[in-house]
Structure 1
């Protein structure tokens, strides 16, 4: 059935909301309140062409998964809608912030900070705000990085290092670096290939990837983007307020072939990410009902704050896959996780995006070393994320007892400006070289040879809590 622009424009309210996506017209009225991103995101496009907004965060498969067949009302000539949008102004928030002659060549980017600067220049304003923002005054976000600066290296000399081995094992899967891709949501905001580009780069570079619960690509498609069937891909889980949706998420991940479940517990409510919220307010300034909800708050609105340690029993009834708890922020909870038999923990304050002034993950690692050192030698693997930007940061975490470290924002930044998979691989090339060269400086031929004696953590240890009750 052919539908005209005038027909679509009549359905521009909450009572009757139609949108066009790639020439197909959908009635999404009944879907508004169940949309994970909130109703307002769709209502901005009511009666209009929503293709640009849709493509910026979703893959085409989501339409058939989320909408019943009856929602499809017909087809419209896309050129007719394009002309209308040019007159009215696009509703998309994904305009780039300024014009450019093109991004710098990848070979001119020589550290991870360079990628962040390019991303700030080239990402759409809403993407930059969502990716880069931290909670409140962003103290935790800054302190995550500063913690590594408080730890000095103690190089050994005359070790005759002919080569270095950076391989390790994450949950039984061999990887070429002690680095993995942390779960990062809506990667399509950075590049159209989103999480699939991350998967392809991870496979070619031999590292692991944790797929975000809020990924912009379905897990089946990301699994298909891997370079080999044994390439490790783990699935993140936020427990949904509707527990049945989480059951479906876990079962889908298991069926798709994910090799472990990483349950994230450090954001029972979303942090107050003011940069994200301010941008949304500027976009909705003419809406008297605007609440200043940024992308992060909208995306996290379905997360359940009502779970406790018994959620692990629920999860084990669904799958026998290894379980990792992401979001451990003190030694007491690290011990509890060990006692509950999980296969791994991630020391993380959510990249400084949840509770501001929460201590840095590296400091939590020192807590474990001081008050529960047996955890470091146990079978439970310990991962660290947040603030890692240099190869020396990686080595400091490993020397102090971590199995591997996760990076989130840098992977998104390396996707931006059209770089895609090539940008990710260039970023990993830089990080790999920094890790290898600094292992030579330290006098270590393998990761196993990294030890606490190779670092001086005295300045950071001053921030340790005086005592704990275990």
Structure 2
């Protein structure tokens, strides 16, 4: 049967909660307690249309896979569906939406995009504020986020000359699979926040360029949809966020294996979600911009924010105990081995000691990563961990493949003067928060520094999200073209005709740093 808007409106609380998504009605009452994003975001849309909140961050079939057939109640009446469409068309656009529309009109042509910093500048102007805040957020005061980038300034080259480099080959193999460059797309969630085609456009761009993509558990398209968008010869990896539900986690792994994904990257540094204040703050900034600010009232006892992760981080809620905080060397890796034949890589190793334990555990690889500065404040920059590992335990590189993943800092620079947390909540704040997002300029040889120190490849997350947001699939292709040019240029200037010529002797760590680089002037 078909339902009316008034039918749905009669179920608008936790004891009976119905929502509309793409003109289909669902009873999510029992699902409230199981929603990974917590019940509060669903209750915000109880009894009405939730499409605008659901669609940018979920795979198309996510809700159907989470509910029983009896909870999928059926379609909305055609007349009411038309009314919703008319209401949306007549709805006054917010100031943030108007900013985005203007930014899209003013994007420079791709032939004027010369660097990754140029791409980022465009992305800042066209990304919704909540999406930009989520993509760019760092833990606490963003010290780790900043130091991820600053670490690269402490490493300089000993370039070699008089070496034939007219033929320069930057290709490599990652877990035995071909890659045209020594890098891969690191797992990043909710790409649809930046572009309606989200991860699919990243897949298409990477397929054409011969780059491997790691697909996040919380991607905004399903693993099946992403696999279908890939070329027959294209390699995909799966990034697993293990939950306390072993059956559910096992199904994720086995589905990925059946779909042709070639490795499992187990995330080990996100057993709880870091304190990402910029992400939490973004909805309040938008409310203030629209004149909806809330102010303190005497006697107010609501001392905790109702949505700890902000509107853009709906996929995980810290209060739900969804993620497995009891993973261990003794239990977790044997469990994962028992359910898959795929190679296992641990994503989020942050010290030499754990790199050694990973080698002893027999995994095929590790990613040195602090989750792009989003988790533990004052965790060591991955490049420094790589340097320590090379200096203290070079034998580890013979036992497994070592990767490095800054998620933003490998090619994007932090704006050290940014202080978005203290700006006033007004229209100017939105522009300030966007322009001061913590990524800034970039350093072209950073990938080469990591490879020289022993990394097999470098994972990049945020750069692909920015490229996607700025220009869609064409932006992903442009990003990879820039990376190819810059990596090959750096290799030639170092005297390296192939990646095997990049050795630790070419890199020296200094105890001083140069003056910060100029930001893009695009």
Answer yes or no: is the 8 Å Cα contact 1:56–1:94 preserved in 2.
Answer: no
Map of 1:68 onto structure 2: 68
2:220 is the counterpart of 1:216: yes
Map of 1:248 onto structure 2: 251
Instruction: From 451, 462, 467, give the equivalent of 1:398.
Output: 451
Answer yes or no: is the 8 Å Cα contact 2:26–2:74 preserved in 1.
Answer: yes
Q: Please provide the CA RMSD for this pair.
A: 2.3
Distance 1:94 1:243 in 2: 41
Map of 1:51 onto structure 2: 51
2:335 is the counterpart of 1:314: yes
Instruction: From 261, 264, 283, give the equivalent of 1:261.
Output: 264
Secondary structure in 1 matching 2:511: helix
Map of 2:416 onto structure 1: none
| CA deviation profile, 1:102-132 (whole Å, cap 9, x unmatched) | 4222222211122222222111111111110
Answer yes or no: is the 8 Å Cα contact 1:190–1:412 preserved in 2.
Answer: yes
Map of 1:155 onto structure 2: 159
Cα gap change, 1:351 to 1:388, in 2 (>3 Å): same
2:401 is the counterpart of 1:384: no
Instruction: From 473, 487, 490, give the equivalent of 1:438.
Output: 490
Answer yes or no: is the 8 Å Cα contact 2:156–2:508 preserved in 1.
Answer: yes
Q: Return the offset for 1:379.
A: 3.8
Cα gap change, 1:27 to 1:292, in 2 (>3 Å): closer
2:26 is the counterpart of 1:26: yes
Distance 1:460 1:365 in 2: 19
2:81 is the counterpart of 1:78: yes
Answer yes or no: is the 8 Å Cα contact 1:5–1:81 preserved in 2.
Answer: no
2:391 is the counterpart of 1:370: yes
Secondary structure in 2 matching 1:57: coil
Distance 2:33 2:456 in 1: 42
Map of 2:306 onto structure 1: 291
Q: Return the offset for 1:269.
A: 1.3
Distance 1:167 1:334 in 2: 25
Secondary structure in 2 matching 1:113: helix
Distance 2:132 2:359 in 1: 37
Q: Where do 1:119-158 residues align within 5 Å?
A: 119-158=123-162
Distance 1:425 1:234 in 2: 20
Distance 1:262 1:65 in 2: 23
Map of 1:331 onto structure 2: 352
Instruction: From 258, 275, 288, give the equivalent of 2:278.
Output: 275
Distance 2:14 2:97 in 1: 25
Instruction: From 168, 171, 175, give the equivalent of 2:172.
Output: 168
Distance 1:95 1:132 in 2: 19
Answer yes or no: is the 8 Å Cα contact 1:384–1:404 preserved in 2.
Answer: yes
Secondary structure in 2 matching 1:7: helix
Distance 2:326 2:284 in 1: 29
Answer yes or no: is the 8 Å Cα contact 1:270–1:297 preserved in 2.
Answer: no
Answer yes or no: is the 8 Å Cα contact 1:94–1:126 preserved in 2.
Answer: no
| CA deviation profile, 1:355-392 (whole Å, cap 9, x unmatched) | 0111100000111112101112x040000011111440
Map of 2:237 onto structure 1: 234
Map of 2:3 onto structure 1: 3
Q: Return the offset for 1:336.
A: 0.5
| CA deviation profile, 1:9-67 (whole Å, cap 9, x unmatched) | 22222222222222212222221221222212222222222222222112322232122
Deviates more, 1:424-433 or 1:273-282: 273-282
Distance 2:490 2:244 in 1: 46
Distance 1:220 1:94 in 2: 33
Cα gap change, 1:88 to 1:232, in 2 (>3 Å): closer
Cα gap change, 1:7 to 1:87, in 2 (>3 Å): farther
Answer yes or no: is the 8 Å Cα contact 2:359–2:399 preserved in 1.
Answer: no
Distance 1:346 1:296 in 2: 23
Instruction: From 112, 117, 120, give the equivalent of 1:116.
Output: 120
Structure 2 alignment gaps of length 5 or more: 288-292, 295-299, 412-442, 514-522
Map of 1:351 onto structure 2: 372
